[in-house]
Amino acid sequence: MVGHKFKVGETVVFMPSRWSMRARSGACQVIRLLPADSGENLYRVKCASEPFERMARESELTQTPTG
């Protein structure tokens, strides 16, 4: 099992899968690292555009662009 790619407190870009119709893309902060499900790491994230936290798969997250 590979460790989590992102760290608690890191800002990431959330790009929901097409199955997450109600979710919006945007910048989020990693709140908690969760155990893997079906071989994919999970995270608890809080997006600035939403008043609640959500669970996200590692494949739905990318690093924020630098520059």
Query: Per residue in 17-57, pLDDT tens?
Result: 766 556 677 899 999 999 999 999 999 999 988 899 999 99
55 falls within a domain: yes
Residue pair 53/44 in contact (Cβ under 8 Å)? The answer is yes
48 falls within a domain: yes
The total domain count for the chain is 1
Residue pair 47/24 in contact (Cβ under 8 Å)? The answer is yes
Task: Identify any residues that bridge with 33 across adjacent strands, giving them in sequence order.
Answer: 43
27 falls within a domain: yes
28 falls within a domain: yes
Single pTM value for the model: 0.85
5 falls within a domain: no
Distance CA 29, CA 15 (A): 13
pLDDT given at position 49: 83
Range of the domain at 56: 11-63
